Amino acid sequence: MARIAVIGAGMGALAAAARLAVAGHRVAVYERTETYGGAVRRFERDGFAFDTGPGLLPLPAVYRDLFVKTGREPLEECVELVQVDPSSRHVFADGTEVALPNASRAGVVAALDEALGPGTGRRWGDFLVRAREAWDRTRRPLLEEPLWPNWQVLAEREPYPAVPHKRLLRTRRAGTLAEVGAWELRDPRLTALLDSHALAYGLDPRITPASAAVLPYMEHAFGIWYVRGGLRELARAVYERCVARKVEFHFGAEVTGVVEKDGRAAGVELLDGTVAEADFVVAGVAPGVLDGFLRGAAVRGAGEVPPQRGAASRLTVLLALRGSRPQSTAHRTVVHAEQREAELDALFGAGAGMAARPTVTVLRPDDPELVPDTGHEAVTLTAVVPAQPGQGRRGDWEGHAENLITVAERAIPDLRDRLVWHEVRTPADIAEATGAEGGALPAPALAAAGGRHLHPSNSTHTGGLFTVGGWSHPGGGLPHAGMSGALVAGLIVEGPEFRGSQ
C-alpha cells in the first residue's frame, strides 16, 4: 500500500483519488480552498441556485465507468441524469432559429433542412460522418491512453478527412475548423454552428485544427446530459465516493512545495511548514502553480509536450427571474454574435478584449431544485472572455454583464421585465476557485496543428510525480478530467507499461 498525496480537489483529482483508494492505496487530498470540485461550484441566494462552472455533461460514460470501478452503486443511483432534448436551440445572426434534437442524426438533418433550407441538413450530416472518422482515429490516443512518447505523430497527422476543395486551379483540403465551415458547409449559419463548439472552449476556429470536428461529433453521438440539482451534484457524488473509499480530505490546506528525495517526489510541504510524506504525488493544479511547487526544478523533460498557457476564460451572469419557465423552453440556447469576425478579432486579436455583442449561451434548466417556487426561474448566461491576469475587479465587468443580458433578450424577449436580480462571476472568481492565472480554462486535447493543442503527459520529469486535470493530458472538459484521473491511477497502479482502458 502506497501513500499518495493529491494536490487539489478538482474533478480530475477526485477521480484519481477514488480509483487509487479502491486499488488499496492510502490517499490524502490537500485542497487550499474550503470545498471540492475545482471550477464546478454553486451559487445560492434567496432560494435560487446556479452552477457557476459547467452546466451540462457530455459523454457521461466516463463517470459511469468511474462509479462502476469504485463501488457497488452506479452513477444513476447517486445522481439523477437527464438527457437534454433538444440538445440546443440556436439563434443566428440573421434571426433564423433552429432546435437540434439530442443524439439523432436524422432528426438534426430534418431540423436543419426545415429551418435553414433544403440541403443544409445533408451537408451537416455528411460533415458528422467525416467527424466520426476523426473521432475513431483519435479517441484512444487522446482520451483513453497515456500520451504517446512519440506524440509528434499526433501533432503532424490531421485525422479529419477533409473534402478536396478547388481554389485558384489548386486542390486543397481544410486544415482549420473555419475552412471546414467555409468549404464544406457553405452556409454562414452552419459555419456559426460549427464554430460555436470551438468557441465554447475558448478556441479560435480560424486557427483551430479541423480535428476539432470531434467536439460537435462527441455531443451528437453521445448526447448532452443534465444532472438534477445542477452539475455541482456530480461533484458531490464523486466527493462522497472518495470519502466512502476512505480518502482523507484536508481543506484549507495550501500546498507550497513538492518534497523531493533522491530525484523522486516524497511528499508535499504545506503553508504552515508541515510536511506530509508520500510515495507518490498527484498534482491537479495549473502549470504555473506546479512550477512554483518545484522551485526551479524541471517539470518536463526535453522533447515533451510543453504546458499550454494563455487560455481564455469565461464570464457568467446568474439571473433570478420572476415568472415560471415556459414548458416548451429549450434547456440550452446559443445566441450567435451578429458580427462573428468582429467577435473573434476582439477575443483573439492583439489587445484581446470582449465584443460588445458576443456569442452567449443561455441555460434554462427545468429543475424545481434551483428555484424558490414554481413562480420563478433560474437562468445562467455565459460568454467566452480573455483570461485576466492581475485583473478582475467585479465593477469592471458590470458593463459586459449588461451586454450579455441584452444579447440574451434575443432568446428571452421579456427578460428585463422579469429580472429580480443578477449576479456576476468573473475570471477572478475562477482564478480563486482553481488557482489558474487569470481564471484561464483549459481546452480539450486535439490532434494536428503541430501539437499546439495537446497537453503534457500525466507523467513528469520527477519520478513519482504525476499531473491530473484539465492542464494535463487529455485536457479540459468534464469528460477529459475524468479520463485524466483514470490515466493517472493506471500509471501508478500498473506502472509505465499501462496502456489505458481496454
How far from chain centre, in Å, is Cα 349?
Answer: 23
Amino acid 485 reads G
Closest residue by Cα to residue 134 from 212, 220, 222 = 212
Let me know if 81 is exposed, middle or buried by CB neighbors in 10 A (0-12, 13-18, 19+). Answer: middle
Q: Please name which of 307, 313, 314, 315 lies closest in space to residue 475, comparing C-alpha atoms.
A: 307
CB 460 within 8 A of CB 287: no
129 Cβ neighbours under 8 A, 6+ residues apart: none
**Per-residue cell: 58:** 457530455
Rounded CA separation 377/366 (Å):
9
Report the 10 Å Cβ neighbour count for 46: 10
What pLDDT does residue 233 have?
98
> Mean of the per-residue pLDDT values for the chain?
94
Q: How far apart, in whole angstroms, are the C-alpha atoms of residue 107 and residue 7?
A: 45
Estimate the crossing angle of helix 478-494 against helix 11-22, to 10 degrees. 30
Give the length of the chain: 502
Closest Cα to residue 95, out of 481, 411, 489, 496?
411
**Separation of alpha carbons 309 and 355, rounded Å:** 22
Give the integer Cα–Cα distance in Å for 463 and 160. Answer: 36
Alpha-carbon distances, residue 486 vs 144, 146, 187, 228, 499 (angstroms): 8, 10, 40, 25, 11
Q: Which three cell numbers stand for residue 203?
A: 478556441
Residues of the chain with pLDDT under 50: 392
Sequence-distant (6+) residues with CB within 8 A of 100 are 86, 87, 88, 89, 90, 107, 108, 111, 112
Question: Distances from the Cα of 457 to the Cαs of 200, 236, 289, 309, 488, in angstroms?
Answer: 24, 28, 17, 15, 10
Which pTM was predicted?
Answer: 0.95
Specify the pLDDT at position 171.
79
Cβ neighbours of residue 49 closer than 8 Å, sequence gap 6 or more: 42, 43, 229, 230, 369, 370, 371, 378
92-113 per-position pLDDT tens digit: 999 999 999 998 889 999 999 9
DSSP state letters, 293-324: HHTT--SS-TTSPPPP---EEEEEEEEEEESP
Per-residue pLDDT tens over the stretch 4-41: 999 999 999 999 999 999 999 999 999 999 999 999 99
What is residue 303's predicted lDDT score, i.e. its pLDDT? 86
CA separation for the pair 271, 266 (Å, rounded):
17
Q: Measure the CA–CA gap between 167 and 181, rounded to whole angstroms.
A: 15
Residues facing residue 463 across a β-bridge = 264
- Strand (E) positions, 331-464? 332-335, 360-363, 376-386, 419-425
